[in-house]
Amino acid sequence: MMNRPYFWWPLQGVLSLISLFFALFGIDLLVATYGLKNPFHFVMTFFSASFIILISLALFAGFVARMIRRYRQPDNTGSHK
């Protein structure tokens, strides 16, 4: 994606932080769901908050796995792809 390897680590860190932000947002939304009076709104908000949490934590796990794989990769050529 980028030709400059020194942008890779900060980019992965920023993407990880963004995904954690959305996970916390989803948890906050899930907690706020229990204050709703309308059953339809409760069910729709509950499942949407759960979906937000699922997607953001899956992305976070992917970013962390990618960083671990890059960290353990032997650097024989001196360049990152």
Quick one: pLDDT at residue 81?
A: 54
Of the segments 6-10, 25-29, 72-76, which one has the largest average pLDDT value? Answer: 25-29
Q: What is the pLDDT of residue 80?
A: 57
- Domain locations in the chain as residue ranges: 38-70
Helix (H) or strand (E) segment spanning residue 10: helix 8-33
Q: Helix, strand, or coil here: 50?
A: helix
Q: What is the mean pLDDT of the chain?
A: 89
Does the pLDDT of residue 3 top 70, yes or no? no
pTM of the model: 0.79
Cα four-point dihedral sign 21, 25, 27, 31: positive
Question: How far apart are alpha carbons 17 and 33 in whole angstroms?
Answer: 24
| Farthest-apart Cα atoms in the chain, separation | 61
State how far the Cα of 26 lies from the Cα of 48, in Å rounded to an integer.
Answer: 8
Residue 6: band (very low, low, confident or very high) from pLDDT cuts 50, 70, 90: confident
